[in-house]
Structure 1
Amino acid sequence: MLSKFQNHIADRFPFLKEKKLFLALSGGLDSMVLLHLMQQLPFEIAVLHCNFQLRGLESFGDQNFIQTYCDDHNISVFITQFDTESFAKDYKLSTQVAARELRYSCFYELLETKNFDYVLTAHHADDNLETFIINLSRGTGLEGLVGIPEQNDRIVRPLLPFSRAEILSYAQDNNVEWREDSSNASNKYLRNKIRHDLVPILKEINPNFLAAFEKTQSYLQQSQEMVEDATIMVYQQVAKEVGDVIHFDLNQLKKLPNYQSYLYQWLNEFGFVAWSDIYDLVDGQSGKQVLSAEFRLLKNRDSLILIPISEMSEKEEFQISEGDAQVNFPLKLRFGQVDDITVESNTVIFVDGEKISYPLVLRRWKEGDFFHPLGMHGKSKKISKFFKDEKLSLIEKENTWLLCSNEQIVWVIGMRQDERFKIENSTNRILKIELQ
């Protein structure tokens, strides 16, 4: 196995040469074999161990075992202890998910603070099969069936081609010591049920099942790569990015014979899960939306608009004091007294400075707001009706700001000035307000 492992490293991970490598050790069979293999190759290695404190004294037994082994073999070791159950409770996570979050955050923190390059983990072929079956049972998409990646950013998994049987045989032949995790014998967790009950049946049906599975995953990975290529090409035809906002052209999208698959590929990374609702948006009414934790997808006429959910409260207000020549947040506005009126536009207005009361207030619109649009000779109009007439999308409405004086709207910024603050023949002080 050592020769096979060495060739695999040279073939698949030549970039590891002369790098500083952490080995993530649990103390179990797989990780101790990984350590034993790496000790015989010319790499600079250190060990990291996460004690999740989930098995009482047994967890500290694992920690002491690793510490003693590393001390005896002159290997640097970094040990981190976590109160995993409290973390899971605080963040409303399952214990397994909480441990995973803590594990990988620990990996990346140590990579940065200790100036190491990669973390090697001991995931192997049987782990890959179990993950495949778990994802299959949950109705995953293609990306959930292609298996555990051999490299994910700075996490490398060099044992993926090796079966649990190969690893056990190597450990027995080379007198590798390890710790048995008592939780692995329990069928409390889904992975253990698959490992103990389902996988042995599959291997009984076909003794070469793992090899056949590896071939199948290779085909799936090739298919996934083709899907990704097609997704990128079609995205360029359908989507338009404007800052943090993405507009999907529904007229172009609906020409595709399988547009739902493309939507899934494009939107999956943004945390959406209500796929039926998303597909219904395509033919739904304008204004409907679907939310993920951090994004919203809005139907607006012939477009789907993807936008981050604003963290700014609609109730948030910003004051502008008299004498302020410029404000930079949430908008860039410039104020200045002038002698004459020049050309007005959507981004420049001129108001009677004596009609203004300070502090001015910048805020978002709320239901019931009204103003007197310039040019309508004193007639009032609700902001909601004005937005409707201007055919603004929900996103555009939410991103519109109002400049107010004593609760009266001076300017629907970038759109229309209020008649009550216009320049008249009697005006002695002209204030120019410019949106930059």
Structure 2
Amino acid sequence: MSQTEKTDPGDLVLQNIEQQGLDDNKDSWIVSVSGGSDSMVLLHILHEIAGFHVIAAHVNFRKRGEASAEDERLVRDYCSKKGIVLEVLDIENPERTGIEAGSAEDALPGMVAGSHESLSESMNRGNFQDSARKLRREFLESVRQKHSATFIATGHHRDDQLETIFQKIMRGAAVENWTGIKTRDDPWVRPMIDVTRKQILDYAANRNIPYRTDRSNLESDYARNMLRNQVFPKLLNLFPGWQDNLIRVPEFAGLHQEMLDFLTEKVTVLRPEDSSESVGNVRSSPGPKAMDRAAWLSLPERLRTAVARNWVRSQSGFAEWTRGDVLRLADLEHIETGQVVSVGRTISIIRDRDHFVIKQELQHTDEPEDQEPLPVTLNISGLGKRPVTIRGVQFSEAGFNPEIPENTLQLRRDVLPDQLILRYWQNGDRFIPFGMAGSQTVADHLANRKIASGQKKQTMVLASFDGSIFAVIFPHSLRKGEIGTIAEHARCNSEEQRVLFIQKT
């Protein structure tokens, strides 16, 4: 029976395990269990059908009051009846993790009992979804180490895969990045990635597997919920079978990446001055390989930017591309020897006669360790109910306030996408400042506003996935209390408009 013919989740999971070469490894597996249908079915299949030795791990985020407590009770009751070891992390009572003494601080850095700030308070300071994802991963990894387990299994399924691919395409990701969730990324494995949500629900009903429904998933506050509840059902009526077409997109992305790698290899060279050298008994590693300028210019013009981008990625690992970064790569054709094209905050591409070489600077390390790392994805649609604070800046949604204080920015909500990126500004970033007709680089804007050179690198921008900048947020308030500048196209012109509030806390 082929994979497409299999409809039973148990069969599909066993087949996936066999294809990934995991069927002979029945050592301890950690299973992330929320209490929802996906994770409860996965736990059942791995324990009852596959016969693996499993340890369940559950995180109680206490985000939904009694509903969160009911989730934990269901998981505890099920594991008790089945004789499954369970580890629980309660963010308001971290000592319940069961992690061995002395290891909790390593397992959950900055999030242990006895700190001045509770886990709950720490998470609510920033983007809750991102914080929850990071905390869950740290906890699962700590449980894996405690039990000397080989793998961590999560309940990601085919519908999650579709949502991931769709969002990447809609956000304007490059073709080579139209990839989905990996089936295996040791120690993480996703045995249900070929199982649909409907198959999971049918399986749970047929085998009387208990589960709870997170009612917040039925609200369309976040992009995934919007796709799941509104967009995908409509697509199914308009384009029957669209899921099978979309699920193949990563295949095309992989083919595109192979072609890019082939072309990039043709223009990449190791110059004698870049090769490794022996010093005593120590042999230094070679630096990044150069790109041959003539070979690069011989490519069709439309391919040059893609190849240059792939060369930078392959030699430096740089992955946080903005639209401005990509557009600047076209300038490589015109720069003279010694001139530089900057990418991001740390990458410089320098022309050295007949070659391009990369100089990569270390990230600045003058940030407090407890600061949330950037970039951060900000879900705008949920801010009306749950304001978010990131790096001392609060983001919320409300009605326009004509008497806004100086230390607050207001952006028109109807011109903003549902998701924005909060990141540091980069060389080449441009926007149209409030009240101006033409665009200006962020660098020039900061100079005009007399931001000290030592503090400029702490300036943040709020941008869309295509690189459009809606606001520049200064590292400190100016004399008049100004905390930043909004873009002209985000200005409010009616007291009836909804706005995104940005305020220093």
TM-score tier after normalising by the smaller chain length: 0.5 to 0.7
SS in 2 for 1:270: coil
Say if 2:334 is the partner of 1:283.
Answer: yes
Find the counterpart in structure 1 of residue 359 from structure 2: 307
Q: Report the equivalent of 2:252.
A: 220
Equivalent residue of 1:290, what SS?
A: strand
The structure-2 alpha-carbon separation of the partners of 1:132 and 1:218, relative to structure 1 and needing over 3 Å to count, comes to closer
Of residues 161, 168, 174, the one that matches 2:201 is 168
Aligned partner of 1:11 in structure 2 is 19
Displacement of 1:195 in angstroms is: 0.6
String of CA shifts for 1:280-337, please: whole Å, max 9, x gaps.
Answer: 24533534342535x3223243343333324799xxxxxxxxxxxxxxxxxxxxxxxx
Structure 2 length normalisation: TM-score? Answer: 0.55
CA contact (8 A) 1:298 1:305 kept: yes
The one of 158, 172, 177 aligned to 2:191: 158
CA pair 63-139 structure 1, distance change in 2 beyond 3 A:
same
Query: Amino acid of the residue matched to residue 7 of structure 1?
Result: Q
Deviation, 1:238, is 6.8
Q: Is the 8 A contact 1:146 1:220 kept in 2?
A: no
One-letter identity of the residue aligned with 1:297: S
Cα contact 1:120–1:156 (8 A) shared by 2: yes
Residues 238 and 252 in structure 1, CA contact (< 8 A), matched pair in contact too: no
For residues 244 and 61 of structure 1, the distance between their equivalents in structure 2, rounded to whole angstroms, comes to 56
Residues in 1 aligned to 2:44 and 2:178: alpha-carbon distance in whole angstroms: 31
Which of the numbers 298, 306, 317 marks the counterpart of 1:255? 298
- Partners of 1:171 and 1:70 in 2: how far apart? 16
Unpaired segments ≥5 residues, structure 2? 1-7, 92-117, 277-284, 366-505
Structure 1 residue 89 displacement after superposition: 6.2
Q: 1:249 to 1:57 in 2, by over 3 A?
A: farther
The answer as to 2:231 corresponding to 1:198 is yes
**Shift in Å, 1:275:** 1.8
- Count matched residues: 309
Quick check: 1:54–1:84 contact (8 Å CA) kept in 2?
no
Q: 1:181 to 1:236 in 2, by over 3 A?
A: same
Residue type at the aligned position of 1:74 = G
Which AA in structure 2 matches 1:262? V
Q: Conserved in 2, the CA contact under 8 Å of 1:281 and 1:289?
A: yes
Q: Distance in 2 between matches of 1:109 and 1:262?
A: 40
Is 1:31–2:47 an aligned residue pair? no
Q: Work out which of the residue numbers 140, 145, 156 in structure 2 matches 1:107.
A: 140
Structure 1: how far apart are the matches of 2:246 and 2:350? 42
From 48, 51, 55, the counterpart of 1:46:
55
- Evaluate the alpha carbon distance shift between residue 176 and residue 235 of structure 1 in structure 2; reply closer, same or farther with a 3 A threshold: farther
Q: Decide whether aligned partners of structure 1 residues 162 and 310 sit closer, same or farther in structure 2, where only a CA change above 3 A counts.
A: closer
Question: Quick check: 1:270 aligned with 2:342?
Answer: no
Distance 1:134 1:204 in 2: 20
Counterpart of 1:69 in structure 2 is: 78
1:22-421 correspondence to structure 2 within 5 Å: 22-40=30-48, 41-82=50-91, 86-88=121-123, 94-214=127-247, 216-217=248-249, 219-224=251-256, 226-227=258-259, 229-230=261-262, 233-234=265-266, 236-237=268-269, 243=285, 245-246=287-288, 247-257=290-300, 258-268=303-313, 269-273=317-321, 274-285=325-336, 286-293=338-345, 295-302=346-353, 303-310=355-362
Structure 1 residues 272, 300: CA separation in 2 closer, same or farther (over 3 Å shift)?
farther
Structure 1 residues 312, 143: CA separation in 2 closer, same or farther (over 3 Å shift)?
A: closer
Give percent identity, aligned residues only.
Answer: 22
**Could you tell me how far apart the structure 1 residues matched to 2:151 and 2:264 are?**
29
**Contact 2:177–2:253 (CA<8 Å) still a contact in 1?**
no
1:404 matched residue in structure 2: none
Report deviation, 1:154: 1.5
Distance 1:64 1:114, change over 3 A: same
User: Does the 8 A contact of 1:237 with 1:252 survive in 2?
Assistant: no
TM-score (norm 1): 0.63
Question: Which has the higher mean CA deviation after the structures are superposed, 266-275 or 171-180?
Answer: 266-275
Q: Select the structure with the greater relative contact order (CA < 8 A; seq sep ≥ 6).
A: 2
Distance 1:231 1:115 in 2: 43
Counterpart-to-counterpart distance in 2, 1:85 and 1:249: 52
C-alpha RMSD over aligned residues: 2.9
With over 3 angstroms needed to count, the CA separation of the structure-2 counterparts of 1:150 and 1:254, relative to structure 1, is same
Q: Equivalents in 1 of 2:226, 2:209: separation in Å?
A: 27
Letter in 2 for 1:191: R
Evaluate the alpha carbon distance shift between residue 235 and residue 153 of structure 1 in structure 2; reply closer, same or farther with a 3 A threshold: farther
Output the CA distance in 2 between the equivalents of 1:300 and 1:251.
12
Q: Confirm or deny: 8 A CA contact 2:291 2:357 kept in the other structure.
A: yes
- The structural deviation recorded for 1:61 is 2.6
